[in-house]
Amino acid sequence: MNQVYTPLRYSVVLLLAVTLASCTAGDSQFTVENPAGFFWGLWHGVISVISLVIHLFNDNVVVYELDNSGGWYDFGFLLGVIMVWGGGCHASCKTKQEAASDKEWDEIGDKVEKKVMRRLKEWADEDAPTDPDGEWDEIGEKVEKKLKRKIREWAEKE
């Protein structure tokens, strides 16, 4: 049943793209006497990605209207782009619950790291109760650094 709807979906998307392309920047309707204003800037910002793709194949279509009213067109264009792309907050915004969960996992990771380090030091101290040259201390520091690095790498994966 989905196979029947697939051509219909593609047709609707193609029709929508062609409709949007008919209102792209660079149209001859805008001149120095009749420049594109705020609302045209807003619209051109919303369809900027589509205009860019079309521009790759057709030099007559541009992303940004050169015959514009200046600051108001620019503001509308920027606002339109932000409406589509969301202003860059999608990846960095977390809910309070997610932030609390991340903090909790960070605390657990710190506790595990401290416990492993303590156990390694106890193990090293058992094997070398007397170490006049300090070799075991040096080895212990190297092991500690490497283990910390490996635990961090493991924790930062996914």
Q: What is the pLDDT of residues 11-65, one digit of tens each?
A: 887 777 666 656 666 667 777 888 888 888 888 888 888 888 888 888 877 888 8
Closest CA relative to residue 22, chosen from 50, 64, 56, 57: 50
Average pLDDT of the segment spanning 86-114: 75
Structure tokens, 55: 């521009």
Give the list of residues 6+ apart from residue 122 with CB closer than 8 angstroms, or none: none
Spell out a b/e string for 126-150, using b for 16 or more CB atoms within 10 Å of the CB, else e. Answer: eeeeeeeeeebeeebeeeeeeeeee
Give the list of residues 6+ apart from residue 120 with CB closer than 8 angstroms, or none: 140, 143, 144, 147
0.75 exceeded by pTM: no
What Å distances lie between residue 12 and 5, 23, 43, 47, 106, CA to CA? Answer: 10, 17, 20, 17, 48
Model confidence band, residue 79 (pLDDT cutoffs 50, 70, 90) = very high
CA 118 to chain centre: 39
Altogether, the residues listed in the chain come to a count of 158
Q: What is the pLDDT of residues 102-144, one digit of tens each?
A: 788 888 888 888 888 888 777 767 755 566 666 667 777 887 8
